[in-house]
Structure 1
Amino acid sequence: MATSGEFRRVFSAFDQDGDGKISMAELRLCMKAALGGDMSAEEVQALMASADADGDGQLDEEEFVRLVREAEAGQEEEGDRCREAFGMYEMQGRGCITPLSLKLMMSRLGLHLDVNECQAMIRRFDLNGDGVLTFYEFKTMMMMA
C-alpha cells in the first residue's frame, strides 16, 4: 500500500496546473499515460463521479487518495480470487500448473483436452519456458483472457 508521501507525489503529477484539484481532462490525460491506452470521456466521467464526494466536478487530494485506495483494495481482492483459481488448477502440490493438472481441471469443467493440447495452452503463457505455469504466469494469462 502506498504511503502519504507517495500519494502526494502522484496527486501532484496528476494536478498538472497546480491548482490543488484534478480536473476530468487531467485525470483522462494521466490515466492514458498510466494505462497506456485512452479512456473514453464517459469512463473518465464515471470514475470522477464515483470519487467526487463534494460534487464540484474535480478531485481534491483527499478524494483522489480515497479513489486510489479503493483501486488498490480491488486489486488485492482480484489477486485473492486469482490465487484461489490457481489453487484449483494446481492439484499436484508442486506450486505450478502442469499439463496433467490442467487436463484434469478442464475435464471437471467439461472440456476434454489431451495432454498435447494442454501443453500448447501452457506454452502460450509459459514465460520462463519450463513447461508449467507459475502463479505469476497464470495471473498474466487471466488478465489476457
Structure 2
Amino acid sequence: MGDSEEQLRKVFQTFDTSGDGTISKSELGKAIAQCEKTPPDQKLIDALFNAIDKDGKGSIDFNEFVEFILSLPPPVEAVRAAFQEMDTDGSGYLEKGELKKLLEKAGATKVSDQQMEQICKEIGGEDGKVSFEEFCSLMAQL
C-alpha cells in the first residue's frame, strides 16, 4: 500500500479526534458534519457506522476504515483518467488492441484475437469500440 496507506492513516487520525486508535459514532458524525452544509441525519450516521463497523464492537478500527474506503467506487475523474490513458490513439474509444493491453496488465495473458473480438462486441456493441460510458458500465459490474 505504501503512500496510500499513509494518506489513509492521516485521514483516519483526523476522524479519530480522541486519539484512541478507533473512530466512535460521535467522531464519525462530527467528521460528516464538517463535510456537509446541513447537519447530518442521525439515522444516516447510524447506518453508515454499522456498515463500517464489521465486527460490531461499537468502534471503527483502522482496518475497517481502510476496507470501507477501498469498497467505495472511484471518482469519475479517476475513471476518466484511466480511460484516457488506455485510449492511446485519442479516438475517444477503446479498440481491440487497447483493451487487450488492459487485460494483459490485469494478468490475462492468453487472450486470443477471437476472444478479444467477442469481448469487444459484448462491451462495445456491434462496432466493437468501447466508449467511456460503456467502460463505466463495465467497471460498475466488476
**TM norm structure 1:** 0.48
**TM norm structure 2:** 0.49
